[in-house]
A and B are shown apart, each in its own frame.
Chain A
Amino acid sequence: MHALANPARFQRFSARALPWCAGVTAILLLVGLYMAFFVAPPDYQQKETVRIMFVHVPAAWWSMAGYAFLAALGAALLVWKHPLAALMARAAAPVGAAYAATCLITGSFWGRPMWGTWWVWDARLTSMLVLFFLFLGHIALSRAFDSPERGDRAAAILALIGVINLPIIKFSVDWWNTLHQPASVVKLDGPAIHSSILVPLLVMAVAFLMLFITLVMMRTETEIGRRRLEMAALAAE
Chain B
Amino acid sequence: MTRFRHLVARDLLMVWRRPGDVLLVLAFFLLAASLFPLGVGPEPQVLQRIGPGVLWVAALFAAMLSLDRLFAEDLADGSLEHLALAPLPLELAALAKCLAHWLSGGLPLTLMSPALGLLFGLDASQIAVLAISLLIGTPSLSLLGGLGAALTLGARRGGALTALLVLPLAVPVLIFGVGAVEALAGGAGTTNSLVLLAAFFLVALASTPWAMAAALRQAVE
What's the least CB distance linking A179 to chain B, in Å?
6
Among B10-18, B33-41, B157-165, the one that faces the other chain is B157-165
Chain B's interface: helix, strand, loop or mixed, by majority? Answer: helix
Q: Residue-by-residue, is A124-156 near B (CB-CB < 8 Å gives 1, otherwise 0)?
A: 000000100110110011001110001101100
Residue among B154, B157, B168, B207 facing the most chain A CB atoms (10 A cut-off): B168
* Chain A residues in 8 Å Cβ range of B207: 161, 164
B218 touching A154 by the CB < 8 A rule? yes
Q: B171 and A130: CB pair below 8 A?
A: yes
Which of A145, A168, A179 is B183 in contact with, Cβ under 8 Å?
A179
Chain B residues, Cβ within 8 Å of A76: none
Interface presence of A180 (CB below 8 A): yes
**Complex formed: what's the CA distance from A164 to B156 in Å?**
26
CB proximity of A100 to chain B, nearest CB, Å: 12
Name the B residues within 8 Å of A160 (CB-CB): 211
Q: How far is the CA of A169 from the CA of B172 in the complex (A)?
A: 6
CA distance A157 to B152 in the complex (A): 11
Would A141 and B151 be within 8 Å (CB), given that A157-B215, A176-B179 are in contact? yes
B132 on the interface (CB 8 Å rule)? Answer: no
| B110 CB → nearest A CB, Å | 21
Q: Which of B141-160 contact A (CB under 8 A)?
A: 147, 151-152, 154-158
Query: Knowing A78-B214, A172-B196, A179-B183 touch, does A133 contact B147 (C-beta < 8 A)?
Result: no
Q: Kindly state the separation between the CA atoms of A179 and B208 in the bound complex, as whole angstroms.
A: 29
Q: Is the CB of B169 within 8 A of A165?
A: yes
Whether the Cβ atoms of A164 and B203 lie closer than 8 Å is yes
Which residues of A are at the interface with B, using a C-beta cutoff of 8 A?
Answer: 78, 130, 133-134, 136-137, 140-141, 144-146, 150-151, 153-154, 157-158, 160-162, 164-165, 168-169, 171-173, 175-176, 179-180
Q: Which residues of B are in contact with A by a Cβ distance under 8 Å?
A: 147, 151-152, 154-158, 161, 164-165, 167-169, 171-172, 175-176, 179, 182-183, 186, 188, 196, 200, 203, 207-208, 211, 214-215, 218-219
9 cross-chain CB contacts under 8 A: A136-B164, A137-B165, A144-B158, A154-B215, A168-B172, A171-B172, A172-B196, A175-B175, A175-B196
Q: Which 3 A-B pairs have the closest CB atoms?
A: A172-B172, A144-B155, A133-B168
